[in-house]
Amino acid sequence: MTLSVDDEFNVTYITLGGYVEMGKYRYFYFSIMLTVYILTICFNCTIVYLIWIHKNLHEPMYVFIAALLLNSIVYNTAMYPKMLSDFLSEEQLISYSACLFQFFVYYTLSASDFFLLSAMSYDRYVAICKPLRYAAIMRRSTVTTILVLAWLVPAGEMAVSVILVTNSKLCNSALRALFCNNSLYKLFCESSRALSVFDVLALLSMALFPLLFILFTYTRILIISYRSGRNVRKKAAQTCLPHLIVLICFSSLCGYDVIVIRLGSDSDFMTTLQAFLYYPLLNPVIYGLKVKEISKHLKKLLCEAKVM
């Protein structure tokens, strides 16, 4: 297949072929996706708003939760409008530059989520295993530094990856996916050794190492909790369970992206669609219902809304 090129502007367009499986159900999928998009933005913004206005939620754990939800807001805002328009379009096209932007946003925010989940696990480790030193360790300056690194480090690494991708020659314009993810590599004429090496290093630094760190901290929490009294175990379960649920679901999606897509298989329409349906709503629901202080303020807000 030849590339579609606009000679005047020298823009290469890529066909997103993952939508062919939706058939006559395009309007049904569009309605579901639009509903999920609106609910996701509303739920995430509500939780962030509650954390912002209530001073008792200005603690490191809640700040990291707010940052994670902000990532979700940016991610959905960058990805959903294009997907929604593609559901209603006869031909799903995206410019190469816009495709690279999607690629950058998707993996930058995914890596940032891993860093933020690592920060949450460390915060819980200090709170449960070193409670007397918590205030000294988790200072405001420490939290600010963690947040800056959680956004800048993935952005920097993905910027390098995008630069390497940009220099690769395209021999195909048909991308069998709903958006520009790792499937993009299948469009290149030949694989780049430099890009492959860098991707492995990026995967290690932005996903595997943070995941191992999270597993280490939660293992330490589990050991300390087991050795301590019932109250400590209860506190550990209440504060760590929401993070673990989010971590397991998020790691599963990332594993699918790396193992299934990067290693040669095409993106499955229904699997990808379910990921866009379930995970965006997972974070605000889990943190809104399972984190006690946030849940308390959320119930109060809902009661006030009913009165009005």
pLDDT, tens digit, for every residue of 210-248?
989 999 998 888 888 877 777 767 777 777 888 888 888
Q: Which residues contact 21 (CB under 8 A, 6 or more apart)?
A: 269, 270
- What's the rounded Cα separation, in Å, for the pair 233 and 226? 7
In this structure, is residue 217 part of a structural domain? yes
Average pLDDT over residues 71-99: 87
In this structure, is residue 6 part of a structural domain? no
Q: How many domains does the chain have?
A: 1
Query: Given pLDDT bands bounded at 50, 70 and 90, which one contains residue 118?
Result: very high
pLDDT in tens, 5-33: 444 434 478 888 777 666 677 888 889 88
Residue, of 144 and 129, whose pLDDT is higher: 144
In this structure, is residue 237 part of a structural domain? yes
In this structure, is residue 111 part of a structural domain? yes
- Cα 170 versus chain centre, distance: 28
The dihedral region occupied by 21, where left means phi > 0, alpha psi between -120 and 50, and beta the remainder, is: alpha
Res. 52: pLDDT tops 90: yes
In this structure, is residue 66 part of a structural domain? yes
In this structure, is residue 7 part of a structural domain? no
In this structure, is residue 11 part of a structural domain? no
Residue numbers of the domain that contains 39:
16-307
In this structure, is residue 114 part of a structural domain? yes
* CATH at residue 117: 1.20.1070.10
Burial letters 146-165, b for 16+ CB under 10 A, else e: bbeebbebbbebbeebbebb
Query: Given pLDDT bands bounded at 50, 70 and 90, which one contains residue 73?
Result: very high
Q: At what angle do helices 230-256 and 209-227 cross, to 10 degrees?
A: 160
